[in-house]
C-alpha cells in the first residue's frame, strides 16, 4: 500500500500566506496519488446521473457541461474537471 501522508514542506510551497500556486498543487496531487483510485466504485464510463452525483450538481448542470465541452462522461474527464475547478475546496490539515 502506498504511503499517502502529506509532505508538509511540499504543501507549504503550494500555499503561502498570500497566494495559492495552482500548478504546484496539481503537480503535488499527480505525484502523490499515482496508482490510487480517487473515485473508487465509480465506473470508467459514467451516466449523467453518475457524473451529477460525483460532482454534487444537478443532472441539468452535467448536461450543460457536456454540451459546452467542459466534461465528457468518463472518470478521467470528471477527475480532470475536479482538479481544475474544485482544488481550492480541499480541506487542509496543517
Q: Per residue in 56-94, pLDDT tens? A: 899 999 999 999 999 999 999 998 898 787 655 555 555
- Please give the mean pLDDT across all residues of the chain: 77
Query: Residue 42 above 80 pLDDT?
Result: yes
d(C-alpha 50, C-alpha 39), whole Å? 11
Whole-angstrom Cα distance, residue 86 to residue 94? 19
Helix (H, G, I), strand (E, B) or coil at 8: helix
Residue predicted with more confidence, 14 or 63: 63
pTM beyond 0.85: no
Q: Average of pLDDT values for 25-53?
A: 84
Amino acid at each position: 500500500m502506498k504511503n499517502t501522508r502529506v509532505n508538509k514542506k511540499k504543501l507549504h510551497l503550494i500555499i503561502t500566506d498570500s497566494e495559492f500556486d495552482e500548478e504546484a498543487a496539481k503537480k503535488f496531487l499527480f505525484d502523490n496519488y499515482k496508482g490510487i483510485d480517487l473515485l473508487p466504485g465509480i465506473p470508467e464510463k459514467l451516466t449523467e446521473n453518475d457524473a451529477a452525483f460525483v460532482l454534487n450538481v444537478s443532472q441539468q448542470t452535467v448536461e450543460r457541461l457536456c454540451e459546452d465541452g467542459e466534461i465528457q462522461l468518463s472518470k478521467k474527464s470528471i477527475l480532470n474537471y475536479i482538479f481544475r475547478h474544485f482544488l481550492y475546496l480541499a480541506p487542509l490539515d496543517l
